[in-house]
């Protein structure tokens, strides 16, 4: 690939050149990662031997802690090696939708939006906010993120589903405990190598005024775009740009991605109907509970993974849950814990 990258004729076909450079970078990062593991492993074993020979318990302790951290990272990369699906390596869209319950659910949706934004930033991904609909009093009704980076879809794909929050409501003057629901929907960005045919006569296009900051930043034109694909009922919307033309182009990209994700789901169902029924995405399937009162616990209902530090989870520490969900999905384990809230 290095030889191909140095070929002056490579960029005669820009799309093919970009594909080659992406694959080359991915392989280079993988090889560099393995070599780094080997070096760190050898260095820390040598430090332990040195510490034991000199009777320096501190050196031994530090090296052992480094090896534990290395083991954790190795486990994460082992799970990442399972991301071999057709679209796993792609960028991804992530939608947040508040459930019934007004301000409570809208505030919970906003908390989830922040959680996934923090996770993406911590993981080295770039994040763009494509659209957001603010709640009447607080929080959001819905929002769409674009998460850019290698394996973004692969990591986030198991997060689709209903997320439940239990807490003492900051909006309840009687300090009662409330249960709120919001949903997450994840679907991959479709690159130019994947052809998705859409009949424009099957789509309804609406324009509306973007929401957002007021004052001098308010958008006074109907630049936001909503596209409804009537045969499937899929609706996408974009208000990121001040230009209606640019928002329209991004909305078409999002629609292609949603239709592609639906096709991937059909293939999964055809290949393994039982597994597909376990991973079905919908409001009737709760995947994770976040309890802040009367005790503190985050529990994944598919894998049984728990955390007693919900503040850390809500600050983006999601890898343990994602790794377990990915391994669970690959192994086809049972979803005995999924609760129907329909």
Q: What is the CATH number of the domain that holds 116?
A: 3.30.70.1660
Same domain for 177 and 108: yes
In whole angstroms, give the CA distance from residue 4 to residue 17.
9
The answer to whether residues 236 and 255 touch, using CB atoms and an 8 Å cutoff, is yes
Same domain for 179 and 167: yes
In a domain, 88, yes or no: no
Alpha helices in 272-289, H assignment, sequence order: 273-278
Give the per-residue pLDDT at 18: 82
- Residue 143's alpha-carbon distances to 45, 104, 110, 305, in angstroms, are 48, 16, 9, 27
Give the per-residue pLDDT at 63: 94
Same domain for 237 and 173: no
- Residue 180's alpha-carbon distances to 72, 100, 112, 219, 295, in angstroms, are 33, 8, 12, 32, 16
Range of the domain at 291: 93-186+272-342
If one counts the domains in the chain, the total is: 3
Same domain for 154 and 9: no
Q: What is the pLDDT of residues 65-94, one digit of tens each?
A: 999 999 988 887 887 777 877 788 889 999
Q: Is the dihedral of CA 75, 300, 287, 251 positive or negative?
A: negative
Same domain for 278 and 324: yes
Same domain for 173 and 277: yes
- Residue 182's alpha-carbon distances to 73, 104, 299, 309, in angstroms, are 31, 10, 16, 20
Residues (pLDDT < 50) of the chain are 213-218, 273-283, 334-342
Give the per-residue pLDDT at 194: 64
Q: What is the mean pLDDT of the chain?
A: 83
Give the per-residue pLDDT at 279: 37
Same domain for 68 and 113: no
Same domain for 167 and 292: yes
Tokens standing for 131? 């659209």
Same domain for 178 and 143: yes
Same domain for 220 and 147: no
């Amino acid at each position: 690939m290095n030889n191909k990258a140095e070929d002056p004729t490579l960029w005669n076909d820009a799309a093919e050149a970009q594909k080659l450079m992406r694959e080359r970078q991915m392989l280079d990062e993988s090889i560099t990662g393995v070599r780094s593991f080997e070096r760190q492993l050898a260095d820390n074993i040598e430090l332990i031997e040195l510490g034991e020979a000199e009777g320096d318990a501190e050196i031994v302790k530090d090296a052992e802690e480094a090896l534990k951290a290395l083991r954790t990272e190795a486990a994460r990369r082992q799970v990442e090696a399972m991301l071999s699906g057709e679209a796993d390596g792609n960028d991804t869209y992530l939608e947040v939708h508040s459930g019934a319950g007004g301000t409570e659910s809208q505030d919970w949706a906003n908390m989830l939006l922040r959680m996934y934004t923090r996770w993406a930033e911590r993981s080295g991904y770039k994040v763009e906010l494509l659209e957001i609909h603010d709640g009447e009093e607080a929080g959001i009704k819905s929002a769409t993120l674009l998460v850019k980076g290698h394996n973004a879809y692969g990591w986030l794909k198991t997060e689709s589903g209903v997320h439940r929050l239990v807490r003492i409501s900051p909006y309840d003057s009687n300090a009662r405990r409330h249960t709120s629901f919001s949903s997450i929907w994840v679907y991959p960005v479709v690159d130019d190598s994947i052809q998705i045919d859409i009949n424009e006569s099957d789509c309804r296009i609406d324009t509306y005024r973007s929401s957002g900051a007021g004052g001098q930043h308010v958008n006074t034109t109907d630049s936001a775009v909503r596209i409804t694909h009537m045969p499937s009922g899929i609706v996408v919307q974009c208000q990121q740009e001040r230009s209606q033309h640019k928002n329209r182009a991004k909305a078409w990209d999002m629609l292609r991605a949603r239709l592609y994700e639906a096709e991937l789901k059909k293939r999964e169902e055809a290949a393994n109907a039982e597994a597909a029924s376990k991973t079905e995405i919908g409001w009737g399937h709760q995947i994770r509970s976040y309890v802040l009162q009367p005790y503190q616990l985050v529990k994944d209902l598919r894998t049984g993974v728990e955390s007693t530090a919900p503040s850390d989870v809500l600050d983006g520490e999601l890898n343990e849950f994602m790794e377990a969900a990915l391994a669970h999905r690959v192994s086809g384990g049972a979803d005995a814990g999924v609760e129907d809230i329909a």
